[in-house]
Amino acid sequence: MRAGNARSKAAAQLAAGSDRRPTPAELTGEQRIRRERTLLLAIVLSAFGPFVTGYAVIVSDSTTQMADFVRRTIELAAMIVSWAVFRFLARSAGAGAVAGDRRYALRRLANGSVAGAMGASSLTIAILALSRVGAYTAGGNVYPGLTVALLGLGVNSAFQLRYAAMTRERYDSIIAAQRRLYLGKSAVDLCVVLALAAVAVAPGHPATAAIDLFGSLCVALYLAWSAVAAMRRRRPVSGVCRTSLRN
């Protein structure tokens, strides 16, 4: 009985509290359109990355280049899923067509799919990098991949700032997740730029192969961290917290 009263009191405090986070249904029409267009623009700008880095893998023998190709492909898939879920939930919010439980299930499904893909990619990249230790010499044409990484660093930093501003304006869990994703993307692009720059400047130096492999492991660690974070956000919760997540 006391537990029920405590839960009811907590729910009342959450509903009246000033720090309550707004739900996607509370976004205005203009805010939903702006966020949906930003998500779509991010997909369009990121769509070229896997193709260019895929070509770079063919013309180079860089482990970091191979890892970066896998990473960009997985991220593009995650962004498409996020855009599709946001678009569906935002456009059905006004009509109330999607129940709270179904909203919660859709978000859990999206996070679980992305987390599983990122985890599998992280394991694949780590095995690939470690298997080539002692048997790999960095070299080849890494300039296509280096160019993509430099452009990606600038674009991803700009999107991270844009998503951060949107989150401050009106909280939405999908937009907040994109902010974290782009913060990680920017950090990884910096690691890739440093690793590929070392390969480009001194391909025959003894330390270059180690730097290249280190770049691959940075990508693997980032994907592993992203997978764990997505799974943690996907854990079932109870009471007031679960009710707020359904929205």
pLDDT in tens, 71-94: 888 888 888 988 988 888 887 765
Mean pLDDT of the residues in the chain: 74
pLDDT bin (cut points 50, 70, 90) of residue 36 is very high
8 A C-beta contact, residue 213 and residue 128: no
CA dist., res. 117 & res. 108, Å (int): 14
* Other CB atoms within 10 A of residue 84 CB: 14
| Domains defined along the chain, listed by start | 26-246 (1.20.1510)
Residue the block writes with tokens 């991010």: 42
> Could you give the count of Cα atoms lying within 13 Å of 148 in the half-sphere of its Cβ?
25
Residue the block writes with tokens 């690691």: 191
Report pLDDT for 243: 41
Task: Identify the weakest region by mean pLDDT among 35-49, 158-172, 186-200.
Answer: 186-200
Which tops the pLDDT comparison, 73 or 140? 73
What pTM value is reported for the model? 0.69
Q: For the chain, first and last CA: distance in Å? A: 27
pLDDT in tens, 2-22: 445 544 444 444 444 433 444
